[in-house]
């Protein structure tokens, strides 16, 4: 490996199990600046040897423990520190006919692992997710790859959890995705964060493929949420001011559409504390031309407490008047045909009475 990669590779011990099992402990791979790019406490793989005779890769189990990967670039235009490893492992003969991928992994388990990436010419943003500075820790995964071929995919993620330095805390992610050249289905989707439990009913999509690319206009999809709740402060890693919204909200949604439009048949958000409620529906169409959209809001209501939180979130002095208006309730419609936007809004407050406006 050291000779092939032209870098330093260290391996502690190798244990060859009966016929088809191998265990490697204390693996270290360094980049060409002599920094440790990979350290794995243990890698264990059990392979179905019979499948290799049929040009298939069938792994009964793969286990990775205590693996730490460090990736970095000096700038966006420079090579990744492990690019030379990727190049060394890639096929050098482009003219040689490549055998189609046929991979199956019954059980893949990863525990106590981490991965980091830094682009050194981009400034960090503490407490906010930054794709140029990623530091993921406490990775735990249990995944089953039932099929991975050129024209099909069948993957079950039984559990994926990790923490990221920005404050993202994924307690559990689970789903089953099955796709081929004509149809894809996402089933049993479940996402859990400290204050969030998001569930989807089956999300399905149909399409046509031509030379491994979707045919324009062929996509159709639909999906809806099951009983779900979110806490916006869980997403403060994207927008730090969301830390002010620490109560739990129930959410329900149903959508369908195509590659040119999205129809939102239902969007309902209700806070458990009663500070905010919303019921709406709408659509967006003509993505590739002049977008058209419409929204119909049957109810938006929020209390002075919610108004104060919005003011903190927006950090605008003018918003400070909202809490003085008392309980605010609105309904209305808005639409745009790509050129003109029109809106009709009815507003009722605890202080100012009813207001109607047209724009």
Read off the pLDDT of residues 170-181 as tens digits, 9 standing for 90 and up: 999 999 999 999
The predicted structure's pLDDT at residue 267: 94
Report the run of H or E that residue 88 belongs to, with start and end: helix 83-89
Is pLDDT at 318 greater than 70 in this prediction? no
Higher pLDDT, 302 or 159: 159
CA distance 203 to 32: 45
Read off the pLDDT of residues 278-287 as tens digits, 9 standing for 90 and up: 999 999 988 7
Phi-psi region of 147 (alpha: psi -120 to 50; beta: other; left: phi over 0): beta
CA distance 184 to 164: 30
Q: DSSP for 154-188?
A: EEEEEEEEEEETTS-EEEEEEEEEEEESSEEEEEE
Is pLDDT at 349 greater than 80 in this prediction? no
Q: What is the dihedral of CA 162, 168, 171, 173, to 10 degrees?
A: -80
CA distance 291 to 260: 9
What percentage of the chain has pLDDT greater than the value 90? 57
The predicted structure's pLDDT at residue 17: 76
CA distance 104 to 46: 12
Q: What is the pTM of this model?
A: 0.85
Q: How far is CA 223 from CA 207, 276, 307, in A?
A: 15, 25, 32
């Amino acid at each position: 490996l050291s000779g092939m990669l032209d870098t330093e590779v260290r391996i502690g011990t190798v244990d060859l199990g009966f016929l088809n099992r191998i265990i490697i402990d204390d693996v270290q791979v360094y980049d060409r600046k002599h920094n440790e790019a990979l350290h794995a406490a243990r890698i264990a793989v059990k392979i179905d040897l019979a499948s290799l005779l049929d040009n298939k890769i069938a792994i009964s189990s793969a286990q990775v423990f205590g693996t730490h990967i460090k990736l970095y670039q000096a700038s966006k235009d420079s090579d990744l520190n492990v690019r030379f490893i990727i190049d060394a492992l890639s096929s050098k003969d482009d003219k040689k006919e490549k055998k189609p991928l046929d991979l199956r992994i019954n059980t893949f388990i990863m525990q106590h692992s981490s991965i980091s990436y830094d682009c050194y010419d981009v400034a960090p943003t503490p407490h906010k997710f930054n794709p140029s500075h990623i530091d993921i820790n406490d990775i735990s995964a249990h995944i089953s790859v039932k099929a991975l071929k050129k024209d099909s995919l069948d993957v079950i993620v039984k559990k994926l959890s990790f923490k990221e330095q920005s404050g993202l805390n994924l307690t559990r992610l689970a789903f089953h995705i099955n796709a081929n050249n004509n149809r894809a289905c996402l089933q049993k989707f479940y996402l859990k964060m400290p204050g969030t439990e998001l569930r989807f009913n089956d999300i399905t999509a149909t399409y046509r493929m031509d030379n491994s690319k979707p045919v324009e206009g062929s996509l159709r999809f639909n999906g809806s949420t099951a009983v779900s709740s979110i806490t916006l402060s869980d997403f403060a890693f994207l927008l730090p001011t969301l830390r002010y919204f620490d109560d739990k909200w129930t959410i329900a949604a149903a959508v369908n559409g195509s590659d040119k439009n999205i129809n939102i048949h239902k969007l309902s958000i209700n806070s458990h504390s009663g500070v905010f409620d919303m019921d709406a529906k709408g659509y967006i169409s003509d993505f590739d031309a002049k977008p058209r959209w419409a929204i119909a809001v049957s109810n938006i209501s929020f209390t002075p407490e919610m108004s104060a939180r919005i003011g903190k979130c927006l950090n605008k002095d003018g918003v400070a008047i909202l809490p003085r208006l008392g309980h605010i309730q609105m309904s209305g419609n808005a639409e745009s045909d790509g050129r003109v936007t029109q809106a009709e809004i009815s507003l009722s407050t605890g202080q100012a009475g009813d207001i109607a406006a047209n724009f």
